Structure 1
């Protein structure tokens, strides 16, 4: 009888504990091995847990390199991820024509994801944005305009997920790529 009460009490207490999620450490390319977690959060939509996001910075907070890691909790097709990315880019001010071009490029390489799988995007000046699927490189998009739009989905003040933005950035500013005054 004591064991049953203990288990019931443990179950009741766990219902009131704050939700957290365990993360495997992000494996980054050697030149980014000094990256440190700046912030993490969870995206939910209508109560559904979509993904856990982690934002990494390399070196100081003024360093230009950074990474965003998304661990999906639902299954999505690569094309639906690309389409949603395009919609979010347009929401923060990217033109329809530019968003359509980037959408085609994203659709060409974004894979279908299952629960537990990760997509990671890393920005490095002079190289652009490199994408990884479960730790394996899948694509690279050069330049600085694409990362402003793509990472802006999470880091721009006009994001559709301001709570997640705050969790990712913590008490610090966005990367210098965004030229946002703090």
Structure 2
């Protein structure tokens, strides 16, 4: 009997580890890289404030946790309505995503470009250039790892993986298209968008 119990425990252990990983709280998605906050302080700007968070599931499986950060001095945070949400997104904001499963860099880029096409970006030559830029910004991730993107509307974006910088994109249109995947009203995941913006709690 002890032998059977040991075998059972060995077989069950990976399942329990995976379940614990998927059920873990979004602690890493709740934090911004110290390097990002340090950069903001260096250029004389205040810290960003988390305004909302949520998770994305597919067929019952958690894919990732996400949190949105913005400047509280721009407008009431979280915003009260779509007009205020637009004001928040018109200023500097950051999106942090903590993945519940491993995803390759190629897959992250492929999914991003697919959503951009769905949102109306259909210049394939431009998308090819964007794909090359995103490949530098979005490395492969393991379960439990976090990617953070800082959007500076009208300028571009910066990215971090596990707190370490990956790339800075000096392409305002690419940056806007990337963050639109989650934050545009036409997003594929309107419930997650509402959670990120804090609108879900207000029933909007």
Which residue number corresponds to residue 43 of structure 1? 56
1:155 is displaced (CA, Å) by 0.5
1:130 aligns with 2:166: no
Name whichever of 106-115 and 86-95 sits farther off. Answer: 106-115
Aligned to 1:95: 122
Matched positions, count: 155
Give the match for residue 26 of structure 1.
Answer: 32
CA distance in 2 between partners of 1:113 and 1:87 (Å): 19
Provide the residue aligned with 2:17 in structure 1. Answer: none
Alignment of 1:1-182 (within 5 A): 21-24=25-28, 25-27=31-33, 28-30=36-38, 31=40, 33-59=46-72, 60-61=74-75, 62=87, 64-97=91-124, 98-125=126-153, 127-171=155-199
How far apart are residue 22 of structure 1 and its match? Answer: 4.1
Conserved 8 A contact 2:93-2:150 = yes
Q: TM-score, normalised by structure 1?
A: 0.77
**2:48–2:71 contact (8 Å) kept in structure 1:** yes
State which drifts further: 37-46 or 23-32: 23-32
Q: Could you tell me whether the CA contact under 8 Å between 2:100 and 2:144 is conserved in 1? A: yes
**Structure 2: tracts of 5 or more residues without a match:** 1-22, 76-86
- TM-score by length of structure 2 reads 0.69
